[in-house]
Amino acid sequence: AYNIVSERLSVWKTNLRRNSYSGVYQTRKDALTMRAWTCHGRTQREMVDKLQQAGIIKSQSIRDCMASVDRANYVVKPPSGPYNDSPQGIGYGATISAPHMHAHALEEIVTYLQASAKKSELSVLDVGCGSGYLTACLGRLLNGGDCESNRQQQTLRGKVYGIEYMKELVDFSIENTKIADIDLLSQGVVTYQVGDGWKGLPEKAPFTAIHVGAAADSFPQELMMQLDVGGVMVIPVGPDGGVQNLYKVERLRNGDQFQKEDFTFDNLLGVRYVPLVHLNQNT
């Protein structure tokens, strides 16, 4: 059984700076800017509708892919309900981020995928895949399935790799995906495996996009070097318990050695996430 850590929305709103659950904004100003915490739904469709009405979901492709992956299959029966716009514990000190954070990350990524659509196959890495929800959304974004906009456009094709530092969470993601999104697994669109988020998945690089679902205390250079030129990384950066910000990092040019000048760094907003764990520090 998974050890559930449940927090009411009111607790997160009044204790934002003390919490360490993924996807929590550090300031009330950040939350109000994104109209976060208000997009609760009784169903997946209602939750997605509210995310769109709040201006967090902006594109039809993101609306479609999020609507086609039921969040209820990727949580551990939280008392607040699976469609509450807040982070929820999934055990082992991990969380599934709030829906508005998933929507925000997807919107930052999708334009880069579309810009690279002429490639024969795109490649996306989801670091800290947790329960598998965002990984499955990315899978639907790339290889349609029930995602209506992608079925019509037939433009995005590729694979998504989800990595986690604990085998139990990898198994959890696989079992969740099997419930209603098993075609993503059987067709090889989505794969999950144990991995160190700091080191990424070099054997599958370069990646058009990398999403990191935990806060790195510094920019992970080895992971950044796995971005393709023109690719994007969405990552929270900052110390555990300290000031953290969500960044969009774009790679401008190739190079054998890491050079900061080969990347751009766009500070998007303040957040609070669980720390990005080094695999060899957990036995």
Cα–Cα distance, 214 to 130 (Å, whole number): 10
97 classed as catalytic: yes
- Nearest C-alpha neighbor of 100 from the set 84, 117, 112: 84
Catalytic residue among 22, 61, 97, 173: 97
In our burial notation (b when 16+ CB lie closer than 10 A, e otherwise), range 263-283 reads beeeebbbbbbbbbbebeeee
Cα–Cα distance, 119 to 159 (Å, whole number): 12
Do the beta carbons of residue 279 and residue 195 sit within 8 Å? yes
Cα–Cα distance, 7 to 283 (Å, whole number): 28
Cα–Cα distance, 184 to 169 (Å, whole number): 18
Cα–Cα distance, 29 to 183 (Å, whole number): 41
Alpha helices (runs of H) in 54-98, residue ranges in sequence order: 60-67
For residue 6, report the phi and psi dihedrals to the nearest 5 degrees: -105, 135
- Nearest C-alpha neighbor of 220 from the set 128, 156, 151: 128
| Strand bridging mode 227-237 / 207-212 | parallel
Question: Catalytic positions, please?
Answer: 97
